[in-house]
Structure 1
Amino acid sequence: MSDTPELVDSHHHVWNLGHRPQPWLEDPGHEPIRRTFDTAGLRSAATRPIAGRHLASSVVVQCLTSLPETRELLALADKDPLVGAVVGWVDLTSLAIGEILDELCAGPGGSYLRAVRHVVQGEQDPEWLQRPAVEQGLQTVSERGLGYDVLVRSHQLGQAVRLAERLPQLPLVLDHAGKPAIAGGDLADWERELRQLAGHPQVRCKVSGLVTETEWEKWTTADIRPVWDVLLSAFGPQRLMFGSDWPVCTLAGGWNRWAETVEELLVDCSESETRSILAGTATGFYRLCPPETTHERTPPCS
């Protein structure tokens, strides 16, 4: 195993619009990313090291409520040594969710499925995560040894808190720190509920997606720092993980600018704390393998 410190990007996307449309990209403001993005593009974009660490492994995350997309991401992980884990999608309300998960895990690249996600931020029901069918589906996810990526907006954090209370055995990671309204400047409600969520030891948090909650053309590290300070205080470095949210982050500066910002935020962290945030937490949650062994033909890290 290499002694070179590793950097794990715990959250990025890929899509091929010629093969599978992404309807959400039709929303105003998304014009710059209304094109195809692949892992070669990520490699080209992610050239700046953070604290001397270069990108070594990544976690690719679903965009669509689509089993075919999840199968494609798993097949990608089976072929591309950069991708160490997949966060896919399944219908959490399906009575056949166990069989569906088993089928995904048995298919090409299936051993790279480490978590699932639903775009709860788009659901109008303020109790969506508490629906009995959803809770039953998440219980099955837990029984299959998988985690759950929680994608909510700041006003939906209460759902995440109740989920953590009701399913303490389910490993959770909060995507994009719960999308605090950085541009609006009022973080009090977000901080209160985020600290409640952080009180549950099975929860991790991604330091990702923050730049697109700012004023895209004007943000500085000073705008991000109040959120960073809360995250570090609430979760501690051992439960935080770096993520880029590439290519969405290109709307507000791109991968390298976010990397530069994270390095600035890490300035007061020790070497062990930096290691946790940049690689260790993601490696543990997603059960990543060392880059040189990840793509052996035997199951990577079952």
Structure 2
Amino acid sequence: MDAHHHLWDLDDGYTWLDDPALAPIRRTFGPADLRPELAAAGVARTVLVEGGLCALSETPVLLRHALDTPEIAGVVAWADPSDPPLEYYRGLPGAGYLVGLRAQVQAEPAGYLDAAEVRAGLRAIGAAGLAFDLVVRPDQLRECARLAADLPEVRFVLDHLGKPPLRSGSPQPWRDDLGLLARCPNVTAKLSGLVTEAEWSSWTVSDLRPYVRAAIDLFGPERLMFGSDWPVCLLAASYRRVLETVVELLQDLLQDTERAAVFGGTAAAVYQLDTGGTGVESPLMNT
């Protein structure tokens, strides 16, 4: 299972892709592009994550993709955590596929997650049975740790291991701050997005190894999940190479049952997915 990928239509916006460095992925990516990649890599199910549009209009599109694409088991949609649109999302076609919410917290100033209105919204998200994905900068990890400790009833998922400093090759203070977050049992993390935190044209498996090992040491395999971050990963590697890289990194570090958790079990549990091919019965539908 791939716990983290995106789809987007440039006609809808996605102005963050206007950065000249992102020209290789500045095009529309839909299910017809995704499905051959999954088949070639042997990936059976996926979690579709909001793509940075930061608009309510994106969610009906993502849910429609889930309805029409058997491989998509769940959707993590965008929402402003200070005012989560739970009632609106509940009424959308395909709402049963909604398993989590995410905001671009990485773009927010320090202290954003400490705000009372944000925390109130996150409590509502947790009460609706949904997870909340944290896409954050390394300097926000301590803030995330405070949040998770104060809201133990909410399931948090750390995207991209908190974007470790692979280009500098210096894992501190990222590792210590990640350790603070890992102490919270309501937090899991994704082995995703690492190749684009490294040097796009010259990264090696060895560059990633210390950071993946740190994640395993701190979270354990039962709290980690694989994510491709496709098509963003195409800036640095193909879908297949990303998957093969994580397989290689885990080969000597984990047992078979532990790797099974990373490659599906953790995501199925955290996002409460039905892995039988019929989508999910989202907790949101029962609140």
TM-score (norm 2): 0.94
* 2:85 matches 1:117: no
* 2:49 matches 1:61: yes
Query: What does 1:167-206 align with in structure 2 at a 5 Å threshold?
Result: 167-206=151-190
Q: Secondary structure in 2 aligned to 1:134? A: helix
- Quote the offset at 1:152 in angstroms: 0.3
| Structure 1 residue aligned with 2:71 | 82
- Quote the offset at 1:221 in angstroms: 0.3
| Structure 1 residue aligned with 2:126 | 142
- What is the one-letter code of the residue matched to 2:279? T
Q: Secondary structure in 2 aligned to 1:30? A: helix
| Structure 1 residue aligned with 2:6 | 13
> Mind listing any 5+ residue stretches in structure 1 that lack a counterpart?
1-7
> Mind listing any 5+ residue stretches in structure 2 that lack a counterpart?
none
Q: Contact 1:48–1:260 (CA<8 Å) still a contact in 2? A: no
What is the alpha-carbon distance in structure 2 between the residues aligned to residue 35 and residue 257 of structure 1?
A: 21
What is the alpha-carbon distance in structure 2 between the residues aligned to residue 16 and residue 212 of structure 1?
A: 21
Runs of 4+ in 1 over 6 A off after TM superposition: none
Aligned to 2:81, which of 89, 92, 95? Answer: 92
Task: Provide Cα deviations, 1:69-104, integer angstroms capped at 9, x if missing partner.
Answer: 01211122122111111101122223xx3xx21221
What is the alpha-carbon distance in structure 2 between the residues aligned to residue 48 and residue 180 of structure 1?
A: 29
Q: Secondary structure in 2 aligned to 1:213? A: coil
Aligned to 2:241, which of 239, 257, 260? Answer: 257
| Structure 2 residue aligned with 1:152 | 136
Task: Provide Cα deviations, 1:111-157, integer angstroms capped at 9, x if missing partner.
Answer: 1111100101111x200011111111101101111110001011111
CA gap 1:120/1:300 in 2 versus in 1, 3 angstroms = closer
Q: Contact 1:48–1:259 (CA<8 Å) still a contact in 2? A: no
What is the alpha-carbon distance in structure 2 between the residues aligned to residue 120 and residue 70 of structure 1?
A: 18
- Quote the offset at 1:48 in angstroms: 4.8
| Structure 2 residue aligned with 1:24 | 16
| Structure 2 residue aligned with 1:3 | none
- What is the one-letter code of the residue matched to 2:25? I
| Structure 1 residue aligned with 2:258 | 273
Q: Secondary structure in 1 aligned to 2:57? A: helix
Q: Contact 2:70–2:278 (CA<8 Å) still a contact in 1? A: no
- Quote the offset at 1:300 in angstroms: 6.5
- Quote the offset at 1:235 in angstroms: 0.5
The number of residues matched between the two structures is 282
What is the alpha-carbon distance in structure 2 between the residues aligned to residue 114 and residue 136 of structure 1?
A: 19
| Structure 2 residue aligned with 1:217 | 201
What is the alpha-carbon distance in structure 1 between the residues aligned to residue 82 and residue 244 of structure 2?
A: 41
Q: Contact 2:95–2:282 (CA<8 Å) still a contact in 1? A: no
Q: Secondary structure in 2 aligned to 1:250? A: helix
Task: Provide Cα deviations, 1:16-63, integer angstroms capped at 9, x if missing partner.
Answer: 112x011100123100000000122122234554xxxx2111101112
- What is the one-letter code of the residue matched to 1:198? A
- What is the one-letter code of the residue matched to 1:30? L
What is the alpha-carbon distance in structure 2 between the residues aligned to residue 91 and residue 238 of structure 1?
A: 29
